[in-house]
């Protein structure tokens, strides 16, 4: 009797386990089917120009290098001054894994791991068929440079004196999304098969707080919002090659800036044109299930006038990448 009961219990457990495993497989297959349908949904796209990779998985290794520069010119107490500060370049290594359009990535900074780099930077971007954006936040004290003031000797500004917190944002809309693909150049989630371009609608923003800790002292607070339009072009010279270039100039429609130098507030007056310009470039080579390339994002802000106060900001990032699809 015991053996019969034990056999019944064993069969019951095995049967339920098999059902659970079968149910899990069905749920996974259903999830994969939904994701695949979403991934392969082309919508209003001309597949002669743009297509999706036929594989599900993509693994990409990236080498990122970024930098920043700030220049201020103006007049203080009827004396001209000019300051220029440049951040140490930051290098990171990252690996991204994509499954049917969803991506998870991790990055490390070798210099930070060795204790040579104490600042931090956050880059977040999304390149869709029609809409896309870049968000860059930097908190840095690794700027070095110089300050010239009329009637004074040049002052060298060593690392650690200038602390800068900067937020750069850029949003864009692609008009010709049927034939032109930003993702083909920057995320490789699409493939550009033939050359095409598109007009772009853009909005940009920048917020910055800079504090210079030296005997005379300086503080700069800045908020800018701009709107504009630009153009992007994907050039396919031959099968497997893609060259991308785009420029998005936006004219500043809202600006709030204040600068305090040696206890004196230096006014900043609007001077046309005040702009935020975002430009991008990329080169991609793919063969079989592999691809490699380089990309660049460059942000430039120009506000004010040299005869009162003018501030130029540069933020850039370059990326080399290699990926495999399967």
Residue 219 and residue 284 in one domain: yes
- Sequential DSSP letters for 196-236: EEEEEEEEEEEEEEEEE-SSS-EEEEEEEEEEEEEEEEEE-
Residue 148 and residue 271 in one domain: yes
25: Cβ–Cβ under 8 A, 6 or more apart, which residues?
none
- Length in residues, the chain: 326
Dist CA 209 CA 229 (whole Å): 27
Identify the CATH number of the domain in which residue 242 sits: 2.40.128
Residue 312 and residue 267 in one domain: yes
Domain extent for 10? 1-41
Residue 17 and residue 113 in one domain: no
Residue 75 and residue 216 in one domain: yes
Dist CA 178 CA 42 (whole Å): 9
pLDDT in tens, the chain (326 residues): 555 555 554 545 555 555 545 555 555 555 556 655 666 665 688 999 999 898 889 999 999 999 999 898 888 777 888 889 898 888 889 998 988 777 777 777 766 666 666 677 788 888 888 999 999 888 888 888 888 888 788 888 888 788 889 999 999 999 999 999 999 999 998 999 999 999 999 999 999 988 877 666 778 888 999 999 999 999 999 999 999 999 999 999 998 887 787 777 766 667 778 899 999 999 999 999 999 999 999 999 988 877 777 889 999 999 999 999 99
Dist CA 132 CA 190 (whole Å): 14
Residue 223 and residue 272 in one domain: yes
Residue 16 and residue 143 in one domain: no
Residue 75 and residue 199 in one domain: yes
**Strand runs labelled E in 102-240:** 102-108, 120-127, 131-140, 143-149, 155-157, 162-174, 191-192, 196-212, 218-235
Residue 29 and residue 118 in one domain: no
Number of independent structural domains in the chain: 2
Tokens 């153009």 sit at which residue?
Answer: 231
């Amino acid at each position: 009797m015991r053996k019969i009961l034990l056999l019944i219990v064993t069969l019951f457990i095995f049967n339920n386990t098999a059902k659970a495993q079968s149910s899990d497989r069905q749920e996974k297959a259903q999830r994969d089917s939904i994701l695949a349908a979403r991934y392969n949904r082309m919508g209003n796209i001309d597949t002669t120009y743009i297509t999706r990779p036929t594989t599900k998985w993509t693994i990409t290794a990236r080498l990122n290098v970024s930098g920043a520069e700030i220049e201020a010119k103006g007049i203080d107490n009827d004396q001209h001054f000019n300051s220029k500060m440049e951040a140490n370049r930051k290098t990171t290594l990252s690996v991204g894994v994509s499954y049917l359009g969803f991506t998870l990535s991790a990055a490390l900074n070798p210099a930070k791991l060795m204790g040579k780099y104490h600042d931090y930077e956050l880059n977040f971007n999304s390149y869709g068929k029609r809409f896309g954006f870049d968000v860059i936040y930097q908190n840095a004290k690794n700027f070095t440079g110089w300050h010239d003031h009329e009637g004074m000797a040049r002052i060298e500004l060593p690392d650690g004196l200038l602390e800068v917190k900067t937020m750069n944002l850029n949003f864009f809309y692609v008009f010709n999304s049927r034939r032109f693909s930003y993702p083909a150049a920057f995320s490789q989630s699409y493939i550009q098969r033939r050359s095409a371009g598109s007009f772009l609608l853009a909005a940009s923003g920048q917020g910055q707080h800079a504090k210079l800790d030296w005997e005379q002292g300086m503080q700069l607070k800045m908020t800018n919002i701009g709107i504009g339009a630009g153009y992007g072009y994907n050039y396919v010279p031959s099968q497997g090659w893609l060259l991308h270039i785009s420029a998005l100039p936006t004219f500043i429609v809202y600006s709030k800036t204040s600068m305090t130098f040696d206890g004196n507030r230096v006014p900043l007056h609007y001077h046309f044109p005040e702009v935020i310009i975002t430009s991008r470039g990329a080169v991609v080579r793919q063969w079989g299930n592999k691809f490699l390339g380089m990309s660049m994002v460059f942000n430039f802000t120009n506000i004010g006038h040299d005869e009162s106060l003018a501030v130029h900001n540069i933020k850039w990032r370059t990326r080399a990448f290699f990926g495999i699809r399967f």
